[in-house]
Amino acid sequence: MAMSHGTHNRPIGVFDSGVGGLTVLHELLVALPHEDFLYLGDTARFPYGSRSPEELVDFSFEVADELVDRGAKLLVVACNSATSAALVALRSRLSEREAGAVAVIGVISPESQAAVVATRTGRVGLLATPATVASGAYEDAIAAADPHVRVTSVACPDLATVIQRGFQIDDDVVGMVRSYCAPLKEADVDTVILGCTHFPLVRPLLQRTLGPRVRLIAPGRAIARRVECAIAAGGLGSERVGEGEYRFLCTGDEESFREAGMRFLQMPISEVRRVGLSKLEIISG
């Protein structure tokens, strides 16, 4: 890919429906400390997990265009629901830009490969949003990596919303997690994919419910490794010597994003700017 002057020092764009993708950004900040990042949380249209594939493609195009127009040199889709519906269409859209192609990396393939490597029994579980489960994207990615691995998928319609709202871990949340984990225990899986970027926030609860021998696969590390390789292969690495900067955009309330975001990122968030994605009507979740 021919790089124009200054491309190396442009930010990596990262997006999610809300603050869940910050669990992915956290790993990227650790793995690629010299890079700059620009994160967009489409909080006004959260949750994505109950959207149709058509809506998810429209929203993803709009968010991707915003980040690329603001200079993103690479795009990370840190949302499983958006990846499941829009990754292929996004890749084709961003490869045809007159101003130069931008590579797109999604969460599903890196996590699926990590799960296939981790399982010893060939029985893998998936916890994800209804949109992600309905797409069959994990089943396809796992079948491509190893046709002998069987996937038991569980749609979790409410968990991301509870987490995004800044949940208290009370009996209701514990009961919800137990009911989502029950089919996975029944299927005797040895590996569970956290197929939603919000779910690492309830990792201890999931691990306790599923038992200590079950391996949990979260999106962060697997995708950070994929981004590192893409940066190296594309010759896109920042020339900066010290630590890079990271900035935030959201489509909803800035202060709620900042407050919830710090819990997810476990690093300071100084400034959040609200961005109006005006081409599409904002539909409340």
User: Which of 157, 161, 267, 159 minimizes the C-alpha distance to 205?
Assistant: 159
Q: How far apart are CA 264 and CA 122, in angstroms?
A: 31
Nearest to 104 by CA among 88, 116, 84: 88
| Residue number with the smallest Cβ distance to ligand DGL | 49
Q: Report how far residue 217's alpha carbon sits from residue 264's, in angstroms, rounded to the nearest whole number.
A: 17
# binding residues, ligand DGL (CB under 6 A): 17
Given the rule CB under 6 A, which of 27-35, 42-50, 172-180, 273-281 is the region that contacts ligand DGL?
42-50
Q: What track of x and - describes contact with ligand DGL for positions 59 through 98 (by CB under 6 A)?
A: --------------------xxx-----------------
Contacts of 72 (CB under 8 A, 6+ apart): 10, 11, 12, 13, 38, 102
Nearest approach, Cβ of residue 169 and ligand DGL (Å): 18
Q: Please report, for residues 19, 129, 209, 226, the alpha-carbon distance to residue 79 in angstroms, rounded to integers and kept in the order given.
A: 10, 10, 24, 15
Q: Does the active-site annotation cover 196? A: yes
- CB 130 to ligand DGL: min, Å: 9
Q: Which stretch binds ligand DGL (CB under 6 A): 32-40, 43-51, 206-214, 237-245?
A: 43-51
Spatial distance between the Cα atoms of 42 and 59, rounded to a whole number of angstroms: 9
112 binds ligand DGL (CB under 6 A): no
Nearest to 219 by CA among 132, 114, 111: 111
The reply on whether position 160 binds ligand DGL by CB under 6 A is yes
Which one of the spans 12-20, 172-180, 233-241, 245-253 is the region binding ligand DGL (CB under 6 A)?
Answer: 12-20
Phi, psi of 197 (to 5 degrees): -70, -10
CA dihedral 20, 21, 27, 33 (to 10 degrees): -130
Least separation, in Å, of the C-beta of 113 and ligand DGL? Answer: 18
Catalytic residue among 79, 156, 181, 250: 79
Closest approach of ligand DGL to the CB of residue 60, in Å: 12
Q: Which of 156, 181, 196, 250 is catalytic?
A: 196
Which runs of consecutive H residues, i.e. helices, occur in the chain? 22-31, 53-69, 80-95, 108-118, 130-135, 137-145, 159-164, 171-186, 203-210, 219-233, 254-265
Residue 46 is a binding residue for ligand DGL (CB under 6 A): yes
Taking the complex as a whole, how short is the minimal distance between the CB of residue 46 and ligand DGL, in angstroms? Answer: 5
| Residue 79 falls in the annotated catalytic set | yes
Q: Are residues 19 and 39 in contact, defined by beta-carbon separation less than 8 angstroms? A: no
- Between 194 and 213, how does the x/- string for binding to ligand DGL read (CB under 6 A)? --xxx---------------
Catalytic residue annotation: 79, 196
Binding site for ligand DGL (CB under 6 A): 16-18, 20, 46-49, 79-81, 129, 132, 160, 196-198
